[in-house]
Amino acid sequence: MGRSIGNDMTEVWDQSAWSAFERRTARAVTTAARPHIAWARAVRASRTILRTYSTSFFIVTRFLPPAKRGQVEVVYAAVRYPDEIVDTFPISPAQRLRLLDQWAENYEQGLKYATLQQAVAAGLNPFVAAFAQVARQRGIPFQHYHSFLEAMRLDVNPRPFLDLEDLVESYIYGSATVVGYFLAYVYGASRPDQFARALTASRDLGIALQLTNFLRDVPEDKRRGRVYLPQDMLRAEGIAEMNIADESSRRALKRVLRQLSNTAEQFYSNAESNLDAFSPDCRVAIQSCIQVYRQLNQRIGASTDGVLRRESVPLKEKFRVLPPSKYWRLPLAYLGAL
């Protein structure tokens, strides 16, 4: 599960729970007395989604300034729901594609409204409508979100990927790189002439995070008929068809995972080397994100049985790579104050 950035699978809502939450959020937004209250309610609902699905990403985003943090939470909600459509809702492939098409239409319509309240009052999903507002305000190229949805459609009808370049360009670009771009537009650059470097860092971090997700979720993806490991790397280890139940196949697969973990590590390093390109008020959060997910990547690469179980990083170990001076934010976050 979890093509979206920062998915820890701490809890899962079923389709009816999502629908009920959407209705409550839409009602809260449309009944707000002022536009800024409507926005705050959409952000609070998006924060609930983030807390529900990703402990790690929730923690690192607490280190962002409030306005940017709210927009990042909205971004997360806008990528989380399509991910649930293709991964967890018990519906047919045709129904999944139809829901993704409806979501894309909501996004297109949301871009036309001046305010979030107007969009939701017109019947648009509050989370994609909120994201459309972020895209307008931050100047996010509108086609990037369509690229994300195209990657989600590829999950509905998966195909093998020939090599790492094919995986990165055909799938990771839409599933993670453009999500990194969304965040870069929210974070901002240290100077206007540094924004290109910020986008490069976002691309590298997106690839790293997605590779780590792939490595963690191999068994679960296999059960869904998906293989996000390059075919040339599998063939080089003599793997024609993944058979996790076979010990010799698992040993070969571990070598592939270790190799891809090393590749992800290089992308983490590349992203870190360009950290100074981002606005100073966001660097602690981005650095924390790199360190937390790097831990997970390293655990997977060193694991002797990662193919058989889903690796995770204990909460106390996540805290060790976070800035101690910022710890005070975390209790407040879980109490709902941040």
pLDDT in tens, 31-84: 999 999 999 999 999 999 999 998 889 988 989 999 999 999 999 999 999 999
Least confident of 58-72, 203-217, 248-262, 317-331: 317-331
Q: Bigger pLDDT: 243 or 293?
A: 293
CA-closest candidate to residue 283, choices 189, 195, 200? 189
The CATH number of 15-334 is 1.10.600.10
Alpha carbons 223 and 252: distance in angstroms, whole number: 19
pLDDT over 50 (residue 181):
yes
Contact 212, 297 (CB under 8 A): yes
pTM score of the predicted model: 0.90
Q: Bigger pLDDT: 125 or 328?
A: 125
Least confident of 163-177, 186-200, 242-256: 242-256
Q: Bigger pLDDT: 245 or 109?
A: 109
Contact 131, 144 (CB under 8 A): no
Give pLDDT, residue 124. 97
pLDDT confidence bin for 302, thresholds 50/70/90:
confident
Reported for 113-120, long-range contacts at CB under 8 A and 24+ positions apart, including other chains, are 115/35, 115/38, 116/29, 116/35, 116/38, 116/39, 116/42, 117/29, 117/30, 117/32, 117/35, 117/38, 120/26, 120/29, 120/30, 120/38
- pLDDT tens per residue, range 193-242: 999 999 999 999 999 999 999 999 888 888 888 999 999 999 999 988 87
Average pLDDT value for residue range 292-313: 80
Percent of the chain at pLDDT exceeding 70: 88
Least confident of 7-21, 55-69, 154-168, 300-314: 300-314
Give pLDDT, residue 37. 97
Instruction: Answer positive or negative: Cα dihedral of 11, 59, 202, 317.
Output: negative
Average pLDDT value over all residues in the chain:
89
pLDDT over 80 (residue 88):
yes
Alpha carbons 336 and 338: distance in angstroms, whole number: 6
pLDDT confidence bin for 306, thresholds 50/70/90:
low
189 SS3 class: strand
Give pLDDT, residue 334. 46
